Amino acid sequence: MKYFPLFMDFTNTACLVIGGGDIALNKTLTLLEASAKVCVVAPQVKSEFSTLFNEGKITLYQQDYSEQQLTGYFLVIAATDEQQINQQIYQDCQQRNIPVNVVDNGELSQFIFPAIIERSPITIALSTDGSSPVLSRILRGKLESLIPFHYGNLATLAKKYREKVKSTFQSVNQRRRFWESVFQGKIADKVFDGKLSEAENLLQNLIAQNQLSQAQKTTGKQQNNPCTDEGEVYLVGAGPGDPELLTFKALRLMQQADVVFYDRLVSSEIQALVRRDAEMIYVGKQCNNHAMSQQQINDQLVEHAKKGRRVLRLKGGDPFIFGRGGEEAEELIKNQVPFQVVPGITSAAGASTYCGIPLTHRD
């Protein structure tokens, strides 16, 4: 490991960026996102730097580099077009024990900028030790698709109640099991659906229930857990077969389902993305050859959900177009089973798109 990964609080930390081009601007904006105090030095700068200066976000000196400019800065970024100047900045910083990054030059850099996946307050940094920034960006894209944006809201909610949970459970293992149930259960589902107030109410109830259970341990009384996971059904569209056309939400639900009912048109590549230990049940239909009747499918969805399982109904295309998703939803409503519907790309639109034919066009 050449570079040690370290997260630091850069609030009001003095940082110097030397250079006025696109790369220097990118580094400046990254530092500003971390609430750093940024000074930019360059004889010529892009207009965006002037805008940042006029808005009071940076200090700007339009002049050539000199060693005296390094005084008072915690770290330095050299992003000039002159290799000789970058070399001089590196040597000057070395003598002053100031961490320095010379952009695109690992040999002259004591630190590097990783690819960042931001789900504030969750931050994930990915690095290839500077050997392949393009590969870092590709890997970041893959991670972006696997980590829903609402994870940040989930982390914020957990932070808000962390101390209360800590005071409720004396054992580290108890706290770990509690948070695992929160992050993988109904509370997390509510957060991912954008129902933050409902999620918080569930969390408050769960904490209160555990506090009551702790107080009543000596009496042997048991209370029903108001936050115990109930079953739920996910009616998910798998699209035309290409895994890259799945929605983020579809992929998330596929990876948390306990049992999966899938159609004939769901590709093997998409099936491979389902949680590995999930029970897979084939219910595909062909002319005069139905693996399971529609009523049997409806009944099975209800039955498994009533057992507290997370049930995935995985359909080719979209659940409500050329499918029986509407009938399944009606059955779930009738039996008071909670469910979610996740749209998928239907062949009605997908086929024409792949042929280059827009379904709507002004001409």
DSSP 19-76: --SHHHHHHHHHHHHTT-EEEEE-SS--HHHHHHHHTTSEEEE-S---GGGGTT-SEE
Nearest to 209 by CA among 241, 231, 178: 178
Active-site pick, 285, 306, 307, 363: 285
DSSP 208-273: HHHHHHHHTGGGT-----TTPPPPEEEEEE-BTS-GGGS-HHHHHHHTT-SEEEE-TTS-HHHHTT
14 near 31, Cβ under 8 Å?
no
Q: Distance (Å, rounded) from C-alpha 152 to C-alpha 160?
A: 12
Residues across the chain: 363
- Residue position matching structure tokens 């890997």: 139
Own/partner contacts of 211-216, CB < 8 Å, gap of 24 or more, are: 211/168, 214/168, 214/169
Q: Print burial letters for 29-47: b (CB count within 10 Å at least 16), e (below 16).
A: ebbbeeebbbbbbbeebee
**Is position 263 annotated as part of the catalytic site?**
yes
Bridge partners (DSSP) listed for residue 339: 233
Q: Distance (Å, rounded) from C-alpha 329 to C-alpha 279?
A: 21
**Is position 315 annotated as part of the catalytic site?**
no
Helix, strand, coil: what percent of the chain each, to 5?
A: 45, 15, 40
Active-site pick, 92, 263, 315, 318: 263
In one letter, which amino acid is 303? E
Q: Distance (Å, rounded) from C-alpha 107 to C-alpha 120?
A: 32
- Angstrom distances, CA of residue 311 to CA of 158, 307, 332, 334: 26, 10, 12, 17
Catalytic positions are 263, 285
